[in-house]
Amino acid sequence: MKTEIISIGDELLIGQVVNTNAAWIGEQMTMAGIKVYQAVSIADDYDHIFEALKLASERADIVLITGGLGPTKDDITKKTLCDFFDSKLVFNEAVFEDVKEIFRVRGRQVTDLNRKQAEVPDNCTVIRNVHGTAPGMWFEKDGIIFVSMPGVPFEMKPMMTDYIIPELQQRFNLPAIYHKTVLTQGVPESEMAAMIEDWENSLPHNVKLAYLPQPGIVRLRLTASGKNRDKLVALVENEIIKLKKIIGEYIFGFDKDTLEEVVGNLLREKSKTVSSAESCTGGYIAHLITSVAGSSDYYKGSVVSYANEIKSRILGVEEKDIERYGAVSESVVSQMAVGVREKFKTDYAVATSGVAGPTGGTKEKPVGTTWIAVATSDKVFAKQFHFGEHRGRNIRRAALMALDMLRKEL
């Protein structure tokens, strides 16, 4: 069974918008066990849309269409759909109720243009849009399924996950699929692969492993397919128990978790507070922590001590130690953590000092050299890391590592 994705929108062809919808739909369909044959981006143009539908129907069993349904553009797209599927537009009261509800919530008036959005071809099944005014439309023609969805990702995604994929699974009697993604921090992908090789080789034949790249984090996605979803869940959970025995210390969460949320939840559960003292990460740890709503429950703040004088004057690092060992040293980063913890009166503190690059490296301390410290009520400890040469990635890797060291301490 083959799927073709058609993305409609001039903005995609002139490069104003990157087509993230096609990638997301491709991932969802692949995870559901349905192959995506190709993805095409086309213009908001009657002939072009008609031609794309015709070509797709010659090679695909399922055609997923996004875009071209905004209030100023849907004239063209809907007219093309009507002509292609030999239908005519009819006013749909249920869709109009949804449109009115969206406008009521936003405190705005419904215009004639919006009323027209409630007109849909008479031979499609309407898919409700709970986040916007353009409904989804499911057509069938000569045994091929066509689904038209809005281009706004926020509106399109729930249609896919809540309606279209379950419907396709049922219709084609697809195997049940269960995914779980294991999130790890602190080991590069190649080392991780070596560590879990034996485990990977002994996975049941219906459980597949995929490495998903993301800066600073290695994600392992397990996908099980079979008849009974409950059994698949049990199967995957059992494999994760085995995996934890091998790399448990590097696993910080699952699926959509973020390290900053996991650390925040641990602090909140234990009613503990934290502060940070940042040199090379330059406020990025603070930014990650405070990007989580409600972080003021456990986060008191940070001293970004970019200049050495701030390390000594505000954080109380001994000037002679900065001179003797350099700012990027175990001694200085440990004093930074202890200093901010005392000043800010928190239970924990983390501190970073490193050579972010691209300049500032020496033979002994090349770009990427980073010290990270964690201070608690009764101790302080620090570790040295060697990240890469790219400034932005060094900052991110150091911040994630600091959060992960704190997580392990919690």
- The residues of the shown chain that bind its own copies, judged by CB under 8 A, are 12-20, 22-28, 30, 36-43, 48, 52, 55, 212-213, 276, 278, 282-287, 289-291, 293-296, 299-307, 309-310, 313-314, 343-345, 356-359, 391-392, 395
In whole angstroms, how close is the CB of 354 to its own copies at the nearest point?
Answer: 12
How far is the C-alpha of 280 from the C-alpha of 359, rounded, in Å? 13
How far is the C-alpha of 383 from the C-alpha of 370, rounded, in Å? 8
In whole angstroms, how close is the CB of 156 to its own copies at the nearest point?
Answer: 14
Q: Do 34 and 63 meet the contact criterion of CB atoms below 8 Å apart?
A: no
Please say which residue, 109 or 359, places its beta carbon nearer to its own copies.
Answer: 359
Q: Do 148 and 123 meet the contact criterion of CB atoms below 8 Å apart?
A: no
In whole angstroms, how close is the CB of 348 to its own copies at the nearest point?
Answer: 14
How far is the C-alpha of 91 from the C-alpha of 115, rounded, in Å? 9
In whole angstroms, how close is the CB of 145 to its own copies at the nearest point?
Answer: 18
Q: Angle CA(294)–CA(252)–CA(410) in degrees, nearest 5?
A: 65
Please say which residue, 205 or 345, places its beta carbon nearer to its own copies.
Answer: 345
Please say which residue, 12 or 243, places its beta carbon nearer to its own copies.
Answer: 12
In whole angstroms, how close is the CB of 230 to its own copies at the nearest point?
Answer: 26
Q: Residue 206 is encoded by which pair of tokens?
A: 């219906």
Pairing of strands 35-42, 2-8: parallel
In whole angstroms, how close is the CB of 195 to its own copies at the nearest point?
Answer: 22
Residue among 158, 143, 139 nearest 65 (CA): 139
How far is the C-alpha of 387 from the C-alpha of 190, rounded, in Å? 15
Please say which residue, 128 or 300, places its beta carbon nearer to its own copies.
Answer: 300
Residue among 179, 157, 176, 203 nearest 255 (CA): 179
Please say which residue, 88 or 108, places its beta carbon nearer to its own copies.
Answer: 108
Strand partners, 212: 219
In whole angstroms, how close is the CB of 303 to its own copies at the nearest point?
Answer: 6
In whole angstroms, how close is the CB of 257 to its own copies at the nearest point?
Answer: 18
Please say which residue, 146 or 344, places its beta carbon nearer to its own copies.
Answer: 344
**Helical H segments across 107-159, by residue range:** 112-117, 153-159
How far is the C-alpha of 187 from the C-alpha of 210, rounded, in Å? 16
Q: Residue 403 is encoded by which pair of tokens?
A: 């959060």
**Helical H segments across 14-164, by residue range:** 20-31, 46-59, 74-84, 93-106, 112-117, 153-159
Amino acid at position 69, single letter = L
Please say which residue, 36 or 374, places its beta carbon nearer to its own copies.
Answer: 36
In whole angstroms, how close is the CB of 70 to its own copies at the nearest point?
Answer: 15
Please say which residue, 36 or 156, places its beta carbon nearer to its own copies.
Answer: 36
In whole angstroms, how close is the CB of 391 to its own copies at the nearest point?
Answer: 6
Please say which residue, 114 or 302, places its beta carbon nearer to its own copies.
Answer: 302
Please say which residue, 115 or 316, places its beta carbon nearer to its own copies.
Answer: 316
In whole angstroms, how close is the CB of 281 to its own copies at the nearest point?
Answer: 8
Residues with Cβ within 8 Å of 226's Cβ and at least 6 positions away in sequence, in order, are 175, 176, 206, 232, 235
Q: How far is CA 284 from CA 41, 56, 217, 301, in A?
A: 37, 46, 16, 12
| 317-353 CB burial, b ≥16 within 10 A, e <16 | beeebbeeebbbbbbbbbbbbbbbbebbebbbbbbbb
Please say which residue, 92 or 365, places its beta carbon nearer to its own copies.
Answer: 365
